[in-house]
Amino acid sequence: MYDDAMSAIHKHLIQKSMNTKMTYTAELIPEQHSSGEISWRLTPKQDHLVCFLGGSLMLGATRTGALIHPVSVPPQEGELSETGERDWKTGIELVKTCMETHDTATGLSPEIVHFRIPSDGMGGNMMAPADWYIKGARRGEFPPYDARYILRPETVESLFIAFRLTGDIRYRDHGWRVFQSIETHCRVETGGYATVVNVDEVPVRLEDKMETFMMSETLKYLYLLFDDSRTLPLDKFVFNTEAHPLPIFNPTIRTGFS
């Protein structure tokens, strides 16, 4: 089931940006026609939510794509299958893209980015971004939802997993920069952290709101990124969607998946 899903993602959603060939995931949007038929439109849009996928692909490559167990840190030549190699490389590139989306005035990633495509009508605009951009509001209007940073954890989740699987210090370096940006722009004097309305605006405007995943996920993954790998090792625990660690166990009863 996992291999089928990852192959479908690679076949239909994984794209490259126009200029620097950044790897990103597009969205398939259903459109219903007057005849009742439904077609699918590929949209060059990536939510911050998708940034969990890079780390998850790397982790999956060392599990379902492994030819030996355990896999080295980082995996060595011949340790991964062909699909494992594919997922590992795509995972690394997706993490890199998500790191690039933090290249904003605040150092924080927006809720949604769009990637340039030839038909976007910006070809002759010298001010147009090279690869990705945040859809802005008209002059004088409140910034759109796309421009917000609402304390999401997905990028730092992937950084944590990537560091555990590679030992590459660049993932810690980037995580530290993200943490410093959160401390600088999101922390409020009265306690807690708040949503940034526009990641490309300094000084920032804040919304009086802190999502619960800031404490349960974002800060947890940042802590684990810098903690010893013996704390909640990835070969003994699985993190669910809300970052709750669940111990891996071998069932003693027959299951429908055996």
Annotated active-site positions, please? Answer: 111
Contact between 120 and 142 under an 8 Å Cβ cutoff? The reply is no
Whether the CA torsion 96, 101, 104, 109 is positive or negative: it is: negative
Q: Which of 174, 180, 160 is nearest to 229 (CA)?
A: 160
Whether the bond between 70 and the residue before it is cis, its omega within 30 degrees of 0, is yes
Q: Beta strand pairing status for 38-43 and 45-47? A: unpaired
Q: What is the C-alpha separation between 146 and 118, in angstroms, rounded?
A: 22
Contact between 93 and 55 under an 8 Å Cβ cutoff? The reply is no
